[in-house]
Structure 1
Amino acid sequence: MHKSAAQEAGVDAGPHLARHHGYSGYLSLIDGVRGIAAVAVLLYHYIHFFMAGPSRAPLRGAIWMYPGSAWLSRIYIDGFLAVQIFWLISGFVFAQVYYGSNADTRSFAINRFARLYPLHLLTLLVVAGLEFAMLRRFGYTALYGNYDWPHFFRQLLFASDWLHLPGDGYSFNGPIWSVSVEVVVYALFWMSRRAVVRFGLPLVAVLVAGFYFADHAWTDFTKIFACGYYFFIGCGLNLVLRGNWNRGWRLVAPVLLLVALGAWGAWVNQDWSWRFVALPGLFGALFMMLAVAEPFAPGWLRKGCQWLGENTYGVYLWHVPVQLCLLLVLLPGTNPAEVARHGWFMVLFVALVLVVARLSYVWFERPVRDWLRRRLHSHLGRLKGSDNAP
């Protein structure tokens, strides 16, 4: 039987949470969506097999060379939007666990560090080693440039993508960029949590609007504001379910409103409408329905979704190292693009990433996370909200 998210986090939910939550605390169904989104990013980055070389430029029309391009083309082209789904889910889950809880700042910081940093550091070092091997063998680094000490130290500090300087770009394990900007939003979330609990949805709406206009003005310099936009929409969706909207027919109104907004954004069919209206509208409606449906989902489905969710971070951070390993095996004798055209190679690649991600979670990510928390408990005393926080 699953504990509530607040119980798993080791925090006390206020009476208003217990009174208004009509759904299970651990959101396994939403966690499953997060796992599927990670696979979408994996497939989006399949382009890396078609851009091997010192220029790192993808082959023209490469997407139509992919296996199953006729029916997977939308994922191949738009899979990067899964990152926004991650941010939505993070806001939803964080609001559920921490709004109204007794967790303190120290425990929040410890939980974030123990959850995110060990695997980031490990994959950063692995990628640095693999890129060094590429540099020695072929004279260039694959996939991402900026193989230098300044970018490495920014990566070490989780600050790789806080600002985009002129001529700058991704470095080392490129996908970590979205976690880098999300770390800043975590801090903003924590600093605003008491005000949000006090003023509720109106304040969240102001924050969302502020992030939207800030992103519009400074999107070329940072993605922090884009992350904040989706993250606090997720927080707002959770606040709606904390009220009386999660009971019976009353849930229909916010869900229909979100679906209508999402459908309008899709109908407009512009890049901005898909990003800022369609995606949060449609997935917001989905998350609200999944949260309410959680207690009624069959056990096998919840366990399967939990398995997907557990592997999400590993899939996200290990797929580039796996690609680099495959490139080192194939090059220079075999053209990676020729091999990557075949369905068996895609299946092999996805399977390898899933296996590595699972082994990483079981043998490294989870044990190290728990060890760090226990270690810090012994030195700093029992921390609130530290047992199994998201």
Structure 2
Amino acid sequence: MLAYAVFWILARKGPFTALRLCKIMAVLIIAKMTLPWIKDIPSCQIYFFIGGAVYLLITQGWAVNRLVHATGMAVLLAATAVLGNTLTEGKIHTITLILVTAALLLSFLALGKIIKSPRVSGCFCSLGNLTYSSYMIHFPLQIFVILALERLGINPEIYSHWATAVGFLLFLFLLSHASYVFFEHPVQNWLRSRLGRTMAPHPTGPDSSRAIAP
């Protein structure tokens, strides 16, 4: 929740330009690497702002070829980081996780640009709608399942089976979808109406492509 709050507050302070995003992520990376007692907080924040950086790329209107080249470079850097992290026994895991996350996001973004299908776009949108709810629900749901298994006298080892994992994920996505439809989306609309905002169309103006509006 702290990550969402910080992201929202900073967004209200002004648009997320590329320079501003780089400064924020640099501070968070340094904090994670030098302040181990708060490492989990910067970690969560970093991935929020990586997502913001990728959204900034979307609004830049990059050509497909340029995006594919950037994605290839990101994948190469991520692969190099994974190899380096393995050879150094995890000493550069922070940078590795950041590069892998950025490479994955760029890869999905490139696929979305290359595969121009309304069905595929709708699938990505639907999955995107589940991210917040699944993130918030998965941990308490895991605890509930483990406690239920113990209460019913079922061996907890069953939780490690692949079929159980698949069933858990399907149930998690079902709950997340219900949460989005009946809670998250209505609350989003209520907050936007209270703040005097509506869902903005995709940025098209010359200035809107330079920043992420709050």
Report if the CA contact (8 A) 1:211-1:225 is conserved.
yes
Structure-2 change in CA distance of 1:220 and 1:342 (3 Å): same
Using the alignment, how far apart are the partners of 1:202 and 1:340 within structure 2? 45
Question: In structure 1, what is the Cα distance between the partners aligned to 2:55 and 2:187?
Answer: 30
Partner Cα distance (2:11, 2:129) in 1: 23
Over aligned residue pairs, what C-alpha RMSD do you find? 3.5
Correspondences of 1:1-390 after superposition (within 5 Å): 179-191=1-13, 193=15, 197=17, 201-240=18-57, 242-243=59-60, 246-270=62-86, 271-277=90-96, 278-290=99-111, 292-293=113-114, 296-371=115-190, 373-374=192-193, 376=194, 383=196, 385-387=197-199
**Number of residue pairs the alignment of both structures matches:** 197
Gaps of 5+ in 1: 1-178, 378-382
Q: Secondary structure at the match of 1:334?
A: coil
Query: What per-residue deviation string (whole Å, max 9, x for no partner) do you get for residues 290-327 of structure 1?
Result: 4533xx43222222222222222222222344334434
Question: Distance between the aligned counterparts of 1:368 and 1:240, measured in 2?
Answer: 28
Query: What is the deviation of 1:268?
Result: 0.6
1:344 and 1:288 mapped to 2: Cα distance?
Answer: 30
| Secondary structure at the counterpart of residue 38 of structure 2 | coil
Change in Cα spacing, 1:185 to 1:307, as seen in structure 2 (3 Å) is closer
Residue type at the aligned position of 1:269: N
How far did 1:265 drift?
0.4
Q: Deviations over 1:261-287 (max 9, x none)?
A: 212102213435444244145225314
Per-residue CA deviation, residues 70-98 of structure 1 (Å, 9 max, x unaligned), is xxxxxxxxxxxxxxxxxxxxxxxxxxxxx
Letter in 2 for 1:345: T
Secondary structure of the 2:37 match is coil
Identity %: 23
Residues 313-366 of structure 1: CA deviation (Å, up to 9, x unaligned): 222222344334434543345144133244443343333322222222222332
CA distance in 2, matches of 1:320, 1:297: 35
One-letter code aligned to 1:363: F
* CA distance 1:291–1:351, shift in 2 (3 Å): closer
Q: Which residue of 2 aligns with 1:108?
A: none
The one-letter code sitting in structure 2 at the alignment partner of 1:279 is V
- State whether residues 219 and 225 of structure 1, in contact with CA within 8 Å, keep that contact through their aligned partners in structure 2: no
In 2, Cα distance between the equivalents of 1:368 and 1:241? 26
Aligned residue type for 2:85: N
Post-superposition CA distance 1:213-234 (Å, at most 9, x none): 2221223225343344444444
Change in Cα spacing, 1:263 to 1:327, as seen in structure 2 (3 Å) is closer
> What is the TM-score when the length of structure 1 is the normalising length?
0.42
Q: Which has the larger radius of gyration?
A: 1
Change (3 A) 1:266 1:180: same
Amino acid corresponding to residue 198 of structure 2 in structure 1: S
- Corresponding residue SS for 1:220: helix
Specify the SS of the correspondent of 1:331. Answer: helix
Distance 2:64 2:170 in 1: 41
Work out the CA distance in 2 between the residues paired with 1:237 and 1:329.
Answer: 40
TM-score, normalised with respect to structure 2: 0.69
Taking a change above 3 Å as real, the CA distance of residues 303 and 265 of structure 1, as seen in their structure-2 partners, is same
The structure richer in helix per residue is 2
